[in-house]
Amino acid sequence: MGARGLYWISLGLIIGMATGGMFLHSVPSPAREEEREAPGAGFEERTGLRIVRVAVTAGGGMIDLRYQVIDPEKARAFCTIRNGAISLKEPPMILLEGTGEILKTPWMSHSHVKTLRAGVVYYVLLLNIGGKVQRGQRVTVIIGGVPAEHVLVQ
């Protein structure tokens, strides 16, 4: 390869890097997108709960929903406490934002033997019937009729 060939390869690399750099600067970073679409501000205010995670687990057959108590007084309206065991009054629902389908079948009844305290994270496992919920999707989590929209599934 001669000097002319190296010239064209170098020029191509420089143009490619410059164009790619401009393109990367025009695309919002994932962190900024997450902040812009952060789910649950109104949900947290109304329920006293924060959605911590929605994840597909058990080989795709279950949905692991984690929620944190941020205001125990507000959360009491959505949780039941019997003999020291805490559970949601009604099973949470997962709304598939693309199709409008709702998944709400718990794997088993869940109760947690603790008092309702701020900062504690609780979980519920729901059946992912037909594997409809996939990693990377956005869903709406509904607890006690209150929606937390655009939650990213892990």
Domain boundaries, the chain: 3-30, 37-152
Using CA atoms, how far residue 115 sits from 7, 82, 84, 85, 144, in Å, is 71, 10, 6, 7, 20
Name the CATH topology of 37-152: Immunoglobulin-like (2.60.40)
pLDDT category of residue 22 using cuts at 50, 70 and 90:
very low
pTM of the model as a whole: 0.69
pLDDT, tens digit, for every residue of 90-120?
889 999 998 999 999 887 665 555 667 889 8
